[in-house]
Amino acid sequence: MTTRARQKRQHGAALLTAMLIVVLVSSLASVMVWQQWRAVQVESAERARTQSAWILSGALDWARLILREDALSGGPTALSEPWATPLAEARLSSFLAADKTSTDDAPEAFLSGQITDAQARYNLRNLVGDDGTVVPAQRVAARRLFESLGVAPDLADRVANGLRDALARPGSEGASATPPLLPRTVAQLRWLGVDSTSLQRLAPHVVLLPVPTPINLNTASREVIAASVDGLDLSAAERLVQHRQRTPFGQLPEAQALIPPSLALDATRVAVQSNYFEVRGRIRLGDRVLEEVSLVRRRGLDVQALQRERISLQDAPG
């Protein structure tokens, strides 16, 4: 091999080596850039999650304060009270900005919230008594409610039997060998065989609370009221709804005076005050939406959160 050929070969090897080095450096640079971008995204998502959790906890504290103040009045629980007024979506970006002098660069954060009376809905827990058996009167009430909502009444029997089996103590008389899981929310009624269409119709009118409770005549729908008072039809229940919009019921006798004398209001099934409420808070932070639903119990001036469920919704529409 001549000297000239050897030099060309060396130049070619040097060029190939240089190209390989360039490719390697470019690949490493790309990997480093991607890792840095990923770290920034993870840090941003974690910061947004922490901020959202902090704000939603504040929304729950707001609800506690409202319900505590309402308890001081000692009056009935009605839809005309401050707790029933939703919190309209409010911008919170200025509070989240680390540097208050540059709030224009702060993330777009908006908070909204609402308190609803859980006892405005029929409590399916009423179907099972303290002795672990299905309460006949409550079974009939549930069947009436299901039928008025366009749901098969037989489905009420399935729910009642499922709750009975789920609540039965292992080894007790009549206990199922393979009891179903005990639902905690209406959505979990799927565990008892309730289909999606029926759930959509039932959800605004039923609830699952830890213990049996009466429905509140000042907040319940006419369908729930008619189902909870034996012999009461929807038109009579509508008269109660129309009356409470003008003047909430302070005591049961006020409602009793508006229904036929042959029908009696049972204080274990209907009331004018509530102890269980649902608090719903929603935070929209940039293009992310996070919602928290809390079940709270009010005892006197003490308001305690019993359940908290945080739901990550799809990106908010632009």
Q: Are residues 48 and 107 in the same domain?
A: yes
24 within a domain of the structure (yes/no): no
Evaluate whether residue 30 is within a structural domain: no
The one-letter amino acid code at 271 reads: A
* Amino acid making up residue 135: V
Helices and strands (H and E) in the chain: how many:
8, 9
Residues 172, 245 within the same domain? yes
Number of domains in the chain: 2
Residue 143 lies in a domain: yes
> Residue 292's domain spans which residues?
39-120+275-313
Give the CA diameter of the chain: 123
Residues 283 and 234 placed together within one structural domain of the fold: no
> Is the domain of 100 the same as that of 177?
no
User: CB-hemisphere CA count at 13 Å for 15?
Assistant: 6
| Residue 25 belongs to a domain | no
- Do 85 and 152 reside in the same domain of the chain? no
| Six-digit token string for 18 | 């240089």
Per-residue pLDDT 10s for the chain (318 aa) are: 566 666 566 666 666 777 777 777 777 777 676 666 666 656 555 555 555 565 667 678 888 889 998 888 888 999 999 999 888 877 765 444 544 554 455 557 788 889 999 999 999 999 999 888 999 999 999 999 999 999 999 999 999 999 999 998 876 776 677 888 899 999 999 999 999 999 999 999 999 999 999 999 999 999 999 999 999 999 999 999 999 999 999 999 999 999 998 999 999 999 999 999 999 988 887 777 888 899 999 998 899 999 888 776 654 433
Residues facing residue 207 across a β-bridge: 123
User: What pLDDT was estimated at residue 40?
Assistant: 60
Q: Residue 77 is part of a domain; what is its CATH number?
A: 3.30.1300.30
**Do 221 and 145 reside in the same domain of the chain?**
yes
Do 52 and 107 lie in a common domain? yes
Q: What angle do CA 112, 118, 124 make, to 5 degrees?
A: 140
> Is the same domain home to 250 and 141?
yes
Q: Is residue 236 in some structural domain?
A: yes
Which residue from 64, 49, 62 is spatially nearest to 96, judged by alpha carbons? 49
Statement to judge: residues 131 and 107 lie in one domain: no
Whether residue 9 is contained in a domain is answered as no
d(CA 164, CA 129): 9
Same domain, 83 and 116: yes
Predicted confidence at residue 314, as pLDDT, reads: 55
Question: Measured between alpha carbons, how far is 110 from 63 in angstroms, rounded to an integer?
Answer: 17
* 107 found inside a domain: yes
What local confidence, expressed as pLDDT, does residue 102 receive?
47
Q: Say yes or no: 127 and 46 in one domain.
A: no
* 166 and 106 within one domain: no
16 within some domain:
no
For strand 122-123 and strand 206-207, is the pairing parallel, antiparallel, or unpaired? parallel
